[in-house]
């Protein structure tokens, strides 16, 4: 299993960042779970150079372009130099600021071109009785996968994060039963871009109020390969409990 801890902007002190990193290193030495930390950009520079552990780093966002006259942008080349292996792309909190499917697709291609593995977030804002949300999800996946080469499709990680389940508590997260339904649907859509069994090999994560009390049931038999916890990853004790609950 893969756990990508999305610190968002919850962590705003170096002391806390270092403590969380120390916890993640300890956990990765003791457990089989693969741990990735999606940290605010300044902490990549702080933590990653001293990293001698199995913990990998993800950026929370990536620029779609290369360097030059682009104030405020953080390019793939910069992230690469900071030891980044993965990047989140299209998190709903970025989409809410105006990121479109087209921009997400550009970022994904830019990440691949620089050997950074994109973790693409998709998910519906709400559910409607006519299940139009399935079409929205399909369109989000299509925008990303269609332009990619086969090898890039295979390496892209998908994080299904229904927006209505983000930032709540375990009791308001998606149920294991509904998650199973969604992973089947997502794999079926992926089958349009990847032949045969290779659609089953794309790593699929779930995010949205993953907490120590529900992570296990969301992992068992639902077809996901891991999780993208937000608030539960920004506290050392809770993050430890998450990783321990998974095994
Ligand atoms: P949450 O966030 O675990 O706080 O719901 C998940 C996410 O937005 O990635």
Give backbone dihedrals phi and psi of 89, rounded to 5 degrees, phi first.
-140, 135
Tell me, using a 6 A CB cutoff, whether residue 207 lines ligand 1.
yes
| Ligand 1, atom nearest to 166 Cα | 5
List C-alpha distances in Å: 231 to 24, 51, 67, 113. 15, 23, 32, 31
pTM above 0.95, yes or no: yes
Domains, the chain: 2-245 (3.20.20.70)
SS3 state of residue 38: strand
Ligand 1 centroid to Cα of residue 132, in Å, is 23
80-117 pLDDT per residue, tens: 999 999 999 999 999 999 999 999 999 999 999 999 99
pLDDT tens-place string over residues 128-153: 999 999 999 999 999 999 999 999 99
Helix (H) / strand (E) containing 12: none
- Residue 131 backbone class (left: φ over 0; alpha: ψ -120 to 50; beta: rest): left
Question: 91, 110, 112, 231: which is the annotated catalytic residue?
Answer: 91
Q: Among residues 218, 107, 124, which one has the least CA distance to residue 165?
A: 124
> Rounded to an integer, what distance in angstroms lies between the CA atom of residue 227 and that of residue 215?
8
Angle made by CA atoms 10, 35, 125, in degrees to the nearest 5: 55
Ligand 1 centre distance from Cα of residue 208 (Å):
5
| pLDDT at res. 100 | 98
**CA 141/CA 157 separation, integer angstroms:** 11
- Phi, psi at 93, each rounded to 5°: -70, -25
Render pLDDT for 42-75 as a digit per residue (tens, 0 to 9). Answer: 999 999 988 999 999 999 999 999 999 999 999 9
pLDDT number for residue 151: 97
């Amino acid at each position: 299993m893969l756990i990508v801890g999305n610190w968002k902007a919850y962590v705003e002190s170096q002391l806390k960042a270092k403590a969380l990193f120390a916890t993640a290193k300890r956990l990765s030495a003791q457990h089989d779970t693969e741990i990735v930390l999606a940290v605010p950009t300044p902490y990549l520079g702080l933590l990653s150079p001293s990293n001698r552990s199995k913990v990998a780093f993800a950026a929370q966002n990536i620029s779609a372009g290369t360097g030059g006259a682009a104030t405020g942008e953080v390019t793939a080349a910069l992230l690469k130099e900071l030891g980044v292996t993965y990047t989140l792309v299209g998190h709903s909190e970025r989409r809410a600021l105006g990121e479109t499917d087209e921009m997400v697709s550009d970022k994904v291609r830019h990440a691949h071109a620089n050997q950074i593995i994109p973790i693409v977030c998709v998910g519906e804002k709400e559910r409607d009785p006519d299940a139009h949300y399935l079409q929205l999800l399909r369109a989000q996946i299509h925008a990303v996968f269609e332009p990619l080469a086969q090898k890039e499709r295979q390496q892209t990680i998908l994080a299904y994060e229904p927006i209505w389940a983000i930032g709540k508590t375990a009791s308001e997260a998606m149920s294991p039963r509904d998650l199973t339904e969604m992973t089947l649907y997502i794999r079926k859509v992926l089958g349009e871009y990847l032949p045969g069994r290779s659609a089953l090999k794309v790593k699929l994560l779930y995010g949205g109020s993953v907490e120590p009390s529900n992570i296990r049931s969301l992992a068992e038999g639902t077809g996901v390969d891991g999780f993208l916890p937000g608030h539960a990853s920004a506290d050392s004790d809770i993050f430890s409990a998450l990783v321990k609950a998974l095994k």
